[in-house]
Each structure stands twice: as structure tokens, then as C-alpha cells.
Amino acid sequence: MESAIKNTPKELLPTFYEKYNLETDGGVKDSKVKIEFTKNIYIYIPNSDTRRKALLKHDIHHIITGYKSNFKGETEISSWEIASGCNKYWAAWILDFYGMLYGFWFNLPNIFKAFVKGRRSQNLYSDVITDEAALNMSVEKLQELLHLPPLGQQIKPTAGDILSFLFWSLIGGIFSTLSMLLLPPVILYNVYLALTGKY
């Protein structure tokens, strides 16, 4: 007998985590977070409670949008989440600003397309749908409730889309520049991990 088709985030996430070499819980319980610039260039930052609260929603977003959890895909989903709004999830805002900035320089056409789609979508950061409900709902139903355009649909951008994209790109650029002040502590944290064998 053939197994039932997996069609809810709860059923699909284990395969997603395995595909991208993530922990079985997506890394919620980890004390640190790996930030990859390339396959061989990466740093760690401490995991925070604010990031943990956003993580499951972010992972479900990957499932329902189809954006991959690699460098390119993370820049695209960052742009989509910025456009559709991160609400009170400050860790999502912060990490998405970085992702959108990297995408601006290395994946501009695709992050712009993702941003345009995000402007026409809602996401789980609105808290209208609980995590439990989102996990057990079909992907198609979630896409319908969050007004996601079909994955292959090409959307003609408006002047408002372009202006909004430029505005958020500017905000992200300013934030990322100011956050360079945090670079020394991040470097020290990675040195500590290396010296203690936890890198």
C-alpha cells in the first residue's frame, strides 16, 4: 500500500531539515546559529529566544513559498518576509535585513521578484494562525489563507512595489552598516568557540 502524500508542514519539515543538514527541530534548542556566506565561509552567532520564537514560522514559510534554505533561497525568503511584514518578531526583521542586503548585491532580480510577491501576501508573523494550526494545515490551505500567489506566477511590479523595495533596501543598508559595530563581539565569540572546541 502506498503511503499517504505528505502535504502538511508537520509532515514535510523533517525532510526539509534533512535536505539542508539542519537539526530535527530546525535548531531551536541550539545555543548558536551558523550563518553561511558560502559553503566554506561562515560564522556563528548566539541563538536567542527572539529568534527561537520566529524560527518555526520561518521554516514553514520555506515550505509554503518554495524558497530553498541555501544562500540564494535565504536572500529570497528574507525579501519576501520583509515585504509581507515581520510584525513583532525583531529577530526576523534583523536577519531578514541582512539576507535582503546580501541579495541586493548577489541576487537582485530574484529578491525583487520575491519582494513583489511578499507585497501581495501575508505570513505567519501576523499570529493570525497559530503554530500548531499551521503545522497541521495543508500547504495549499496555508497558501490560500496567506494569499500567496502561485509559485510560478510572474507578477508585473507597480511603481509602489519599486519604491517600497528601494525604501526597505535603504533601511536594511543603514541597519547593516550600523550593525558593523557588533562585529568585534561576534569575532570574539567565534574565537571563543574555536578555542573551546565548540566551533
Q: Which segments of the chain have a pLDDT < 50? A: 1-3
What does the alpha-carbon distance between residue 115 and residue 105 come to, in Å, rounded to a whole number?
Answer: 15
122: its cell numbers: 501575508
- Residue 153's pLDDT is 85
User: Average per-residue pLDDT in the chain?
Assistant: 92
126: its cell numbers: 501576523
- Residue 4's pLDDT is 59
Q: Is residue 4 part of a domain?
A: no
| Beta bridge mates, 32 | 46
Q: Is residue 187 part of a domain?
A: yes
| Beta bridge mates, 122 | none
Q: Is residue 146 part of a domain?
A: yes
What 141-144 contacts at long range (C-beta under 8 Å, 24+ apart), as own/partner pairs, is 142/9, 142/60, 142/64, 143/64
DSSP 105-158: HH-HHHHHHHHHHHTT---GGG-SS-HHHHHHS-HHHHHHHTTPPPTT---PPP
Structure letter (DSSP) for residue 26: T
Domain of 145?
9-195
- Residue 1's pLDDT is 38
169: its cell numbers: 533596501
- Helix or strand run (H / E) with residue 57: helix 49-65
Domain count, the chain: 1
| Beta bridge mates, 35 | 43
Distances (CA, A) of 15 to 18, 24, 52, 139: 5, 9, 20, 15
Q: Is residue 175 part of a domain?
A: yes
Q: Is residue 1 part of a domain?
A: no
- Residue 23's pLDDT is 87
Q: Is residue 3 part of a domain?
A: no
Q: Is residue 35 part of a domain?
A: yes
Q: Is residue 2 part of a domain?
A: no
- The candidate with the shortest Cα–Cα distance to 92, out of 45, 47, 51, is 51
- Helix or strand run (H / E) with residue 9: helix 9-19
What does the alpha-carbon distance between residue 11 and residue 126 come to, in Å, rounded to a whole number?
Answer: 23
Query: In this structure, are residues 77 and 99 in contact, taking their beta carbons and an 8 Å threshold?
Result: yes
